[in-house]
Structure formats: structure tokens, C-alpha cells
Amino acid sequence: MKHRFLTLIIAFFCALFTVAQNGSNVIDEVVWVVGDDPILLSDVEETRLGQEESGEVVNNPYCTIPEQLAVQKLFLHQADLDSIYASESDVAREVDYMLDNAIQNFYGSRENLEAVTHKTYAQLRELRKRIVRDQNRVEQVQRKIVENVKVTPAEVREYFKSMPADSLPYIAKQVEVEIITREPQVPREEIERIETQLREWARAVNAGETAFATLARFYSEDPGSARDGGELGYKGRGELVPEFANVAFSLNDPKKVSKIVKSEYGYHIIQLIDKRGDKVNCRHILIKPHIADSLLQKQKLTLDSVASQIQEGKFTFEQAATYISDDKDTKNNHGLMNNYNERTGVSTARFEMKDLNQDIAKVVDTLQVGQISSPFVYTNKKGQQVCAIVKLKERIEGHRANTTEDFQVLKDVVYEKRCQEKLDKWIAKKAETTYVRISPDWRNCNFQYNWQQ
């Protein structure tokens, strides 16, 4: 995932830099029209530059890229028809991640980024939000189109039956990992500090002394929403943690601030913005407890003792994970970590190293099968520092896939092929029924789809 983001960052900002340098010398023109939406020469150039900088090889880009952009517009038009919207909080979170990585890895400071791209940080953020928002909506439409695609074991075996061995997918090294975590106990005085501060902010907003959004921008520790004044966008109850959802959906007065809500992420206060059907849009301020190093060290000592007792045979790693671990996602699975594929909805215990939390991956890479690590600290997906020990349950070296050991991987390959076939049929039909005009100079191409010209 990190590699994907860095590739996108390089492509996006290099393209911006080149456009910023040359944009004033280019006369823009409409090269395609899809429905009511134009595709501009500048759109094609920016996409081409981004693809080149990311190392993507595109044959005949002035034919391929306009068609790619036209296909995207078909999906976006369908998103409009189906009232499909992106979660603004998710969009903001992804954009902020990309911008922060760009600054950290390539530019060094926000000022350097602005100087190179000739755009303000706010302009870059809004531009990138538009791109990410569109991509999110396209992906939602695609998921809806392929939601009924199913693949049977017989189809998988038939598909790969006659395929040469050297044409089978290559499976990178994978690992199965068990984990035990311990979260430091937050001192009562730290909780009181947070609650006192949140109560004061709630009082100030309720009294009209300040705006909730202003406080959120300055103080909220949720980076995905803080820059938007704490706004989360329209969310269904199932998209929010239960404690937060119960309070958010009970609010009725946009001028009042909720009571303090404790969740697995920290402590919140919430302000209602609007309700729309079974969704609610609200702002929140999140404060996370600050954990002293001494408390982390105490939990590391506890886990060091647990590891010693496991090695002495007093109990197994799996038993310890079930009864001692604080990790809700793994303790009921005897500590075994789970790799969930959002695209296919399939879970597996196997991870490629790049898919593991990088702090965990660094530790796992040093272990032999069956070995237990020393205690270490890592930051979990909730942004909290926790202590852990891990056990390498299995290591599967890189190899060509086979139906005995890698059936799920092969099934995913066939599933993706069936999904693409269904998407291609949808695009072909949509292209034939949508108004499309291509400028004469851009028509001499072998397009993948039959556009009405």
C-alpha cells in the first residue's frame, strides 16, 4: 500500500510541476466530449506525464489516454444517476496521507512543495481531493456492477488446467503471524485532563464564544477530519464505532455539543451538522491519551515474562493470545493475524511482507518459523502505541502458484478476469448509448470500445 501511494505521489507532483512550468505556453483545446463533459488536451497531457513519471508504459498515449478518461466519465455519469458519493472524511484522509508523504519523502517542507508546483498547499489539497473523490466514486460503481460475479472451484481448475507452469502467477514470499498485544493503562489524571479540556471546549461552543470547526482544526487529533473542521461527511450507523454512533445519531440540535464519548480511538465531543435518511453528518474533536514511556516499558516487561513462560512450556502462545492479548481482532483466533481483501471479501492468514504493518514486518523478517520475538512497540491502525510480541507461524517462500497450496490466489485471478469481462461489457454498452464527439485529429486510433463518432 505504501509503495502504491508513493508511486501516485511521484506521478501527481511531477505532473503538476511540468504543467506549472509549461502551462502558460499551451493553448488548451477540447479533444473529446462524453455526454456533457469535455476532455481537454491539458487533461491528457497531465495524465500522460503522471504515467511516464510513475514508470507506466503506455503505447500510443494520445489514443489510449483519452479513451481511459472517457471510460472514467462513463462511470462518473453512472455514479450521478445512482447517487453514489465518496466519503469526504475518507477522501481527506487519503489526500492528507499523500501530501504528508510527498513533503516527507521528496520536498522537505510545505514551502518547497508550493514553490516547485507553483500552487498553494490549499490548492494542491483541493485538486487532489477532486481526483481521489472521482476515483472513489468510480470504484463504487465498479463494485456494484460486479457484485454478483461468482467463481466456482471447477472454473478455477479448468482455467489453469492447460496453462504452462511458467505462465502461472508468481507468489511472493508470504508469512503467517500470531500476535499478542498489551495496551498501557491510561492514568486517571490523564483521563481527567482530557475530560476537563473537552468540557471547556463544549462550554465555549454552546455559549457562542467560538466555533466548533475552529477548535477541531487546531486541536483535534484525527488528522483525517481536523483539516475539514472535524467534519466526517455523511455516515451510516455501521460506518462508525458503536459508542460514537449511538451519540451521533441521538443528536438533534446543531447548535449544541454532545457529552464526552469514549471509544477505542480516544475521547470525542460531537456536533451535529445534518441528517439525511439513515445517514448523519457531524463534526468531532478527538483527543487521544498521551502514554508515558514508562507505561510502555511496563507492558514490555509483562510481555517479556509471558514469552519466557511460553518457552518454559507453562502455556502456549495461542493460549496466551486468547486470555492475555488486548487485540480484539486476533484474540478470538488464538492470536492469528487476518489479511482481509476488500475487493473480493476474502480473508486469509497469509501476508506478503509489504501488507503487514511495517513495524511488525521488520520484526517478523528476523524470526525463524516457530520463534517468538522480543517485546516491541508499534503504532496500530487506530494510531495508538501498543506493545507486542509475535510468533512466526509459517513462512512460504516465493513460488509459482499451484492449486493445492494457492487455490485462493488462483481463484482471485479468475475472479478478477470475470469482473473485467463484465466491466468491459458494461463499458461497451454504455459507450454505444452515450453521446460522444471526438475531434477529427484524434480519431485515427484503434480504440478498445466502439465509440459513436
CA distance 436 to 453: 6
Task: Identify the bridge partners of residue 171 per DSSP, sorted by sequence position.
Answer: 399
**For the packed helices 61-81 and 121-145, what is the interaxial angle rounded to 10 degrees?**
70
Q: How far is CA 253 from CA 23, 230, 271, 341, in A?
A: 48, 17, 8, 39
Give pLDDT tens digits along the chain (453 positions). Answer: 444 444 445 455 555 544 444 444 456 899 999 998 999 999 999 888 877 766 777 788 999 999 999 999 999 999 999 999 888 777 887 888 788 878 877 888 888 888 888 888 888 888 888 889 999 999 999 999 999 999 999 999 999 988 898 899 999 999 999 999 999 989 999 999 999 999 999 999 999 999 999 999 999 998 878 888 999 888 888 888 999 999 999 999 998 999 999 998 899 999 999 998 888 999 999 999 998 899 999 999 999 999 999 999 999 999 999 999 999 889 999 999 998 877 667 788 999 999 899 899 999 999 999 999 999 999 888 778 899 999 999 999 999 998 888 898 899 899 999 999 999 999 999 998 899 999 999 999 999 999 965
Phi, psi of 193 (to 5 degrees): -60, -45
Q: Which are the contacts of 125, defined by CB distance < 8 A and separation ≥ 6? A: 95, 96, 99, 227
The answer to whether residue 209 sits within a structural domain is yes
CA distance 96 to 102: 10
Q: Is pTM, for the whole model, over 0.85? A: no
The answer to whether residue 431 sits within a structural domain is no
> By three-state DSSP, how is residue 213 classified?
helix
DSSP 40-107: EHHHHHHHHHHHHHTT---SSHHHHHHHHHHHHHHHHHHHHHTT----HHHHHHHHHHHHHHHIIIII
345 lies in the same domain as 304: yes
How many C-beta atoms lie closer than 10 Å to residue 338's C-beta? 11
283 lies in the same domain as 304: no
When divided into structural domains, the chain yields a total of 3
User: What is the CATH classification number for the domain harbouring 102?
Assistant: 1.10.4030
Contact 398, 173 (CB under 8 A): yes
Place of cell 489539497: 125
**8-state DSSP, 373:** P
Place of cell 465518496: 86
CA-nearest of 443, 440, 85 to 281 is 85
Owning domain of residue 349: 173-184+291-397
The answer to whether residue 109 sits within a structural domain is yes
48 lies in the same domain as 142: yes
Place of cell 464505532: 241
CA-nearest of 294, 291, 251, 292 to 273 is 251
297 lies in the same domain as 269: no
180 lies in the same domain as 326: yes
Q: Cα–chain-centroid distance for residue 56?
A: 22
The answer to whether residue 430 sits within a structural domain is no
385 lies in the same domain as 340: yes
How many C-beta atoms lie closer than 10 Å to residue 392's C-beta? 20
pLDDT (tens digit per residue) in 186-203: 999 999 999 999 999 999
Look up residue 86 and give its three cell numbers. Answer: 465518496
Of 287, 316, 331, at which residue does a domain stop? 287
283 lies in the same domain as 310: no
How many C-beta atoms lie closer than 10 Å to residue 121's C-beta? 14
User: What is the CATH classification number for the domain harbouring 325?
Assistant: 3.10.50.40
Look up residue 169 and give its three cell numbers. Answer: 502467477
pLDDT (tens digit per residue) in 100-146: 878 877 888 888 888 888 888 888 888 888 889 999 999 999 999 99
Look up residue 362 and give its three cell numbers. Answer: 521488520
Angle at 360 between CA 301 and CA 184, to 5 degrees: 35
The answer to whether residue 427 sits within a structural domain is no
314 lies in the same domain as 271: no
Of 287, 317, 347, at which residue does a domain stop? 287
215 lies in the same domain as 308: no
10 lies in the same domain as 139: yes
